[in-house]
Amino acid sequence: MTSSHRTRRPVDLQEAVAILERTPAALDAMLRGLPDGWIQAHEGGETWSPFDVIGHLIHGEQTDWLARVRIILEHGEARPFDKFDRLAQFADSPARSLDALLEEFAALRRANLRDLAALQLGPADLARTGTHPAFGRVTLGQLLATWVAHDLDHVVQISRVIARQYSDEVGPWRAYLRVISGQQG
Amino acid sequence: MTSSHRTRRPVDLQEAVAILERTPAALDAMLRGLPDGWIQAHEGGETWSPFDVIGHLIHGEQTDWLARVRIILEHGEARPFDKFDRLAQFADSPARSLDALLEEFAALRRANLRDLAALQLGPADLARTGTHPAFGRVTLGQLLATWVAHDLDHVVQISRVIARQYSDEVGPWRAYLRVISGQQG
C-alpha cells in the first residue's frame, strides 16, 4: 500500500455515504444532554455555538446538498444552483431545543440518503457537471465530496468551540493541544 | 450573559465529566463499520490514522489521566507523574480490530469515571498541585481540563484525517472548508 493510497481517496458513492449516514448519530452522542454552557458556547463575536451549527446542518439538508444533486441531473450546467443562506439557522431555530434540532437533522439526513440511493448514481455520473453561482463549473463528484467534508468541518468546529472554553484552564498543557493552540499539522 | 461567559468556562467537575462520558459513544458512532480505507487513512509520514488514535486514547485511560489524579491526591508535588508514552499504541494494538478497540476504550473510560466519582472531589481539590515531568507544578483542575480538551483534540484529528482524504476531490469548495484549507478561526 503506497502512502498516497492512505492520504487521498477518490470519491466513491458508498464510501461517501458511509460518512454521511454516521454524522447525525455522532453529533447526537456528543451533544445530547450536555449542560447548556457547552451547547451555547462560542468563540467570540459572531462565531457559532454547537446549537447554531446543528441549525446550519439542518438548513443544508433542506435546501442545499440533495437539491444541487438534482439540479445537476436535471439541468446540467444550464441552471446555476440557488445560493445557500449560511445564516438561515438564526431565523429558523432560536426558540427550539437542541434535542429537537438533533432529531430533525437525523430525519432529514436519513430521507436525503434514501432519495440519493433511489437516484442509482453510477461512477460515470460523478463526472456530470453543474454551475455553482460563485465557482462556475463543478462536478457531481465534487459536490458529494464537499457534502462529506462539510460534515466533518462542523464536527471539528463543535469540538474546537467546546475545547477552547478551557484555553486558560489547561495551563501549560496548552502547548500539547493543537485544538487550543491552533497549530496546524 | 456577557460574551466572555460563552467563550471561557472555569473547570467544573460535572461539566468536565459530561464531555468525558460522551466521547466513547461519539467515536463509536463516527467510526464503527466504516470502510477500512477511512479507518487506516492518515495525513502522510508518521501521522496517525483513526485506528491509531483509538489505541492512543486507550493507553491514556490505562496509564495517564486517572493515575495522575491519584498521584496528586496521594503525593502532591513530591512525586512527579510518570511520563506518558505517546507511541504505545503501535506496540499494543496492531493486530486488533477497530471494534475491539472502541469497546475497550468505552469500558476503560466508564471504569475511570466511576473511580473518579468515588474520589468525591470538591471544588477546593481542583487547586491541589502535582509535578509534571516537563512542566513542573500543575493543578488537578488543569489536569481535568486537559483530559477533556485532549478528547476533543483527537475528535478533531480523526475528522480532519478523514476530510483531508478529499482535499483534491472537493475542487473549488476547498476555499470554504477550513478542515481542508487549514485556515484557523
Summarised one tens digit per residue, pLDDT across range B75-99 is: 999 999 998 888 887 887 668 999 9
Judge contact between A27 and A158, C-beta under 8 A: yes
Optimal mutation site among A23, A156, A158, A180, interface B, most CBs of chain B within 10 A: A156
- pTM beyond 0.90: the answer is yes
**Cβ–Cβ of B185/A47 closer than 8 Å?**
yes
Partner A, chain B 71-130, Cβ-Cβ below 8 Å: none
**CA pair distance A21, B109, nearest whole angstrom:** 26
Most A-contacting residue of B155, B157, B167 (CB-CB within 10 A), to test interface: B155
For residue A32, what is the nearest residue in chain B, using CA coordinates?
Answer: B22
pLDDT for the residue numbered A30: 98
Nearest to B15 by CA among A165, A44, A173: A165
Quote the cell numbers at residue A98: 437542541
Instruction: Check B173 against A10: CB less than 8 A apart.
Output: no
| pLDDT of B17 higher than 60 | yes
B146 contacts chain A (CB < 8 A)? yes
Beta bridge partners of B136: B132
Which residues of chain A fall short of a pLDDT of 70?
Answer: 1-4, 93-94, 184-185
Separation in Å, CA of A178 to nearest CA in chain B: 7
CB-based contacts of B94: which residues, under 8 Å, 6+ apart?
A: none
A42 at B interface, C-beta within 8 A: yes
**Smallest Cα distance from A71 to chain B, Å:** 17
Question: What is the dihedral sign for C-alpha B136, B139, B143, B145?
Answer: negative
**Are the beta carbons of B169 and A141 separated by less than 8 Å?**
yes
Residue from the list A19, A42, A182 with its beta carbon closest to the beta carbon of B7: A42
B53 contacts in A (CB within 8 Å)? Answer: none
pLDDT of residue B3: 52
> Alpha-carbon distance A62 to A20, whole Å?
15
CA nearest to A27, candidates A164, A177, A161: A161
- Is residue B184 over pLDDT 60? no
ipTM of the complex: 0.95
- Chain centroid to CA A29: 16
Distance from C-alpha of B180 to C-alpha of A154, rounded to nearest angstrom: 12
Cβ contacts of A123 within 8 Å, gap of 6 or more? A13
Residue B62: φ, ψ to 5° = -75, -35
Q: Report the pLDDT value the prediction gives residue A182, as an integer from 0 to 100.
A: 86
Residue at grid coordinates 463516527: B30
Find the helix packing angle between B23-31 and B98-118, rounded to 10°.
170
Calculate how close chain A gets to B39, using CA atoms only, in Å: 10
Distance from CA of A31 to the nearest CA of B (A): 8
Q: Hey, are the CB atoms on A163 and B172 less than 8 Å from each other?
A: no
pLDDT at B1: 45
A3 touches chain B (CB under 8 A): yes
Measure CA of the first residue to CA of the last residue in chain A; give whole Å. 23
B7 and A165: CB-CB below 8 Å?
Answer: yes
- Return the residue of B nearest to A171 by Cα: B142
- Asked if A146's CB is within 8 angstroms of B177's CB, the reply is yes
H or E element in which residue B138 lies? strand B136-139
pLDDT tens digit sequence for B108-156: 999 999 999 999 999 999 999 999 999 999 999 999 999 999 999 999 9
